[in-house]
Structure 1
Amino acid sequence: MIHDEASVIANSLWTATAPPPPERPALEGEVEADLVVVGGGFSGLSAALHAAEAGLSVTVLEAMTPGWGASGRNGGQVNPGLKEDPEAVAARFGEDLGGRFLRLAGDDADYLFALAERLGIDCDARRGGFVQTAVSEAGMGPLRERARQWQALDRPVRALDREEIAGLLGFDHYVGGAVHEAGGTVQPLKLALGLAAAAEAAGARIHARSRASAIEPGPERVTVRTAAGAVTARRAVVCLNGYGDGVHDRLRRSVVPVRSVQVATEVLPRNLRDTLMPEGHHGSDTQRLTTYFRMSPEGRFVIGGRSGFNDGRVPADQEALRRIARRMIPDLADFDWPYAWGGSVAMTVDHFPHLHLLAPNVLSSGGFNGRGVALTVAMGRVLGEWAAGRPAEALDAPVTPLAPIPFHGLRGLGIWATIQKYKLMDRLGI
């Protein structure tokens, strides 16, 4: 079970199958560093690792324990690229920056798997490929166009017809889709714990149960305070994503945290699990309320999707996922589902991840819109480069002005209304 979490979203398969993390002390007293990292998820741990490998002294402040948030709870799907297609990225950010951003995102899965191999992180990595599925012909046009645009950038993406996608997934449920062969899967909590250990081996100090309470930039140094201490550093990176609280109110109001929930079966019998995604692919559909699925390393079927903005709808949405899975794969009707969990995903209005200079020496990263496993790790390298002195305008990801979402306090009502609209549109196939 995920410690210190509501029971309805705490029964995580990943927590049950990851090794127990080592004890890490809370921050006490005042310390100094070249870089202070706020947040111990994929982005923060990767930033700490890369900065420490560059020779900086690094201190990480994590409110709970490394990987406690979305990084240790997600589907473990290593999906290359961004929510938006390449031509939209280039049009938004220009040929130079857009091209660098596309290379970062297009190569992020390769980077993650190479990094895990270099560091010897045991995270059940598998390069099976990422399949996007279409539930109707209306969804095939955008997937064919997406494949065309990534092919133009020499990425291994191709469209699939009904027979091809059924062969990759092991069941006939979709009219077609597209496959990105660079994708794969990991056990996400194992990856987070491995990144934490690697960052410490490189010299970083990680403090658990050390929630940041204030960020105080100055002309030469920045101080981040906790209940029992403070870190003063040349620079700070803030990687809270969907788990931001009162430490920076305008940053908190720039993203919308939305619940994502998952369920997993018992270990399936060999004859069934050998037929499901036999080459190691994983998938997600093209509906507005996306459903995503995979096989776990030990042979469980795992499926996830969006919920509301709090825990009230979680049990019903978890049961809805079980029904969807049984419709997709009728053979799952006879098996138990012993795991059910969830967490928060940070959504942005424009569907792009955001880097913001909160002060000349404070850079934030967040808003990965449910596509963050690969991109957050690659973005950590970008954050580490900034910490080591690379100018913001030279980074391989856009640094944009911080813009809180209007009427953010009404997000609950807005999320509910949007979900109802999307459910209707998905049912009607429009």
Structure 2
Amino acid sequence: MGVTNDPRSHGLWAQSACDAPVTGCLTQDTTADVAIIGAGYTGLSAALHLAGAGRKVVVLEGQEIGYGGSGRNVGLVNAGLWLMPSDVMRTLGQTYGERVLSLLGQGPEVVFSLVRKYGIMCEAEPTGTLHCAPDHAGVRNLQQREKEWQQLGAPVTLLGEGETRRLTGSNAYRAALLDARAGTIQPLSYARGLAAAAMAEGAEIHTASPVSSVYREDGGWLVRTPRGSVKAQWVIVATNTYTDSLWPEIREEQIHLPYFNIATRPLPPACLNLILPKKQGVWDTREVLTSFRLDQAGRLVVGSVGSLGMIERNIHRQWAHRALTRIYPMLRDITFESEWYGRIGMTVDSVPRYHRLDEQVLSISGFNGRGISPGTMFGQILARRICGELTDADMPLPLTNIRQPPLRIARENIYRFGSTAVHAVFDRL
């Protein structure tokens, strides 16, 4: 199981994940070409690709592999960003917009290719995802998304009400956008599998090794932990939303959005014949969205915006039961087996950030709820940047300075307490 002793930190994923590779804390002073801080998707992907290119890599993780968002998310392997392609182009401009859309459009295939290549046991289901519309406004949104993605040649198709009903097993939606590029995985197992693959390529990974300081020494960087250190020419900061006091500006640049998941007990065969027969992952077009998907054992995992703190916990549980009953009336008497939550790092324009925190210290963060595929791809991109295959001018994101968004704390409180208020009344009216 591992991860933490808190059953609400990783929930079902900790219970059902494959075993993590054997790691331990750093207990000596060592050297490397690259020191990577953080063992989530970005750091592990960077380690895998750097080690595969012959670089000596040391990964330092303060907790365990996949401790942050990589081990807590719902497990949807999506293509692209939350934004429509036209919004990406307006935000980043034509050059960077085209690069990001091309790169992240390929993301799910890269994820599933790594799963196949390294034999990662992560319940991979490359059968697509369904973005569902419960109302006319949602249908219009999906129509525009279909138009824009198809103009780019993406295998994205808007389904009518009948086909949506067949693929979801529910009468709750008027339409769905099927993205054939996408799919689902067991997210913590994928993180552990990436770690095992990186180690097989020669990377070192040390867990329970929080970084206490990073400073220049003899033309390189000395990265210290409580019991050892790494001297490296390059540093990748891959801590994203779970960044601590070492680089507080990364955390301060992001608006934290809490997100929870609740899993049922395995559904009976009669229900599994109807509900998500092709095991696509689903989310809807509501502002406070609902997501759901099946795991390999037939549990239905439902999630939404909100935390599971003492104040909100019962409200979100009761909402989850009402939501499932609305979507699938046959689940009225179903019971829940586990619950967990984490946080998503949002940027003000919903686009990730590429930063040079210092000379030869790089970071890409702010995935806006799309961590699996972008984290994997941007880790690969950082590896290529360090290997000299790309310059800053070639990167898919512009190099930017860190800027704190206005009213960050107020926005975070709105997300937390606003979602609780919505869930307190939704499906009651």
Please say whether Structure 1 and Structure 2 have the same fold, judged by a TM-score greater than 0.5: yes
TM-score by length of 2: 0.93
| Map of 1:200 onto structure 2 | 199
| Map of 2:168 onto structure 1 | 169
1:305 partner letter = S
Aligned pair count reads: 428
2: CA distance between counterparts of 1:205 and 1:380?
A: 16
Deviation at 1:412, TM superposition (A): 4.5
Query: 1:12-62: CA deviations, max 9, x gaps?
Result: 111111233243111123211111111001111001001111111000001
> Residue 304 in 1 paired to residue 342 in 2?
no
| Map of 2:13 onto structure 1 | 14
Query: 1:65-98: CA deviations, max 9, x gaps?
Result: 1112211121111111111111221222222222
2:222 and 2:232 in contact (8 A); partners too: yes
| Map of 1:258 onto structure 2 | 257
Query: 1:335-375: CA deviations, max 9, x gaps?
Result: 22111111222111111111211112111121111111111
Q: CA RMSD in A?
A: 2.4
| Map of 2:179 onto structure 1 | 180
SS at match of 1:12: helix
Deviation at 1:399, TM superposition (A): 2.8
Output aligned runs, 1:337-376, within 5 Å.
Answer: 337-376=336-375
| Map of 2:413 onto structure 1 | 413
1:174 partner letter = Y
| Map of 1:384 onto structure 2 | 383
2:316 and 2:420 in contact (8 A); partners too: no
Output aligned runs, 1:139-158, within 5 Å.
Answer: 139-158=138-157
2: CA distance between counterparts of 1:314 and 1:379?
A: 34
2: CA distance between counterparts of 1:2 and 1:322?
A: 28
| Map of 1:124 onto structure 2 | 123
Q: 1:278 to 1:313 in 2, by over 3 A?
A: same
| Map of 1:49 onto structure 2 | 48
Deviation at 1:219, TM superposition (A): 8.4
Q: 1:218 to 1:249 in 2, by over 3 A?
A: farther
SS at match of 1:155: coil
Query: 1:202-255: CA deviations, max 9, x gaps?
Result: 110000001112232568312222222221211111111221111112112111
TM-score by length of 1: 0.93
| Map of 1:38 onto structure 2 | 37
| Map of 2:290 onto structure 1 | 291
1:263 and 1:303 in contact (8 A); partners too: yes
Q: 1:309 to 1:294 in 2, by over 3 A?
A: closer
1:133 partner letter = C
Deviation at 1:2, TM superposition (A): 5.7
| Map of 2:401 onto structure 1 | 401
Tell me, which stretches of 5 or more residues in structure 2 are unaligned? none
2: CA distance between counterparts of 1:173 and 1:74?
A: 24
1:11 and 1:339 in contact (8 A); partners too: no
Q: 1:217 to 1:333 in 2, by over 3 A?
A: farther
1: CA distance between counterparts of 2:252 and 2:48?
A: 28
1:62 partner letter = E
Bigger shift: residues 393-402 or 63-72: 393-402
1: CA distance between counterparts of 2:426 and 2:384?
A: 42
1: CA distance between counterparts of 2:184 and 2:394?
A: 31
| Map of 2:231 onto structure 1 | 232
| Map of 2:107 onto structure 1 | 108
Bigger shift: residues 199-208 or 155-164: 155-164
Q: 1:315 to 1:388 in 2, by over 3 A?
A: farther
Tell me, which stretches of 5 or more residues in structure 1 are unaligned? none
> Residue 94 in 1 paired to residue 93 in 2?
yes
1: CA distance between counterparts of 2:412 and 2:182?
A: 33
SS at match of 1:253: helix
Bigger shift: residues 66-75 or 54-63: 66-75
1:217 and 1:359 in contact (8 A); partners too: no
2: CA distance between counterparts of 1:238 and 1:331?
A: 47
2: CA distance between counterparts of 1:410 and 1:239?
A: 26
Deviation at 1:417, TM superposition (A): 5.9
Query: 1:362-398: CA deviations, max 9, x gaps?
Result: 1112111111111111111111112212322212333
> Residue 23 in 1 paired to residue 41 in 2?
no
SS at match of 1:334: coil
Query: 1:139-176: CA deviations, max 9, x gaps?
Result: 11121111111101110112122112111111110121
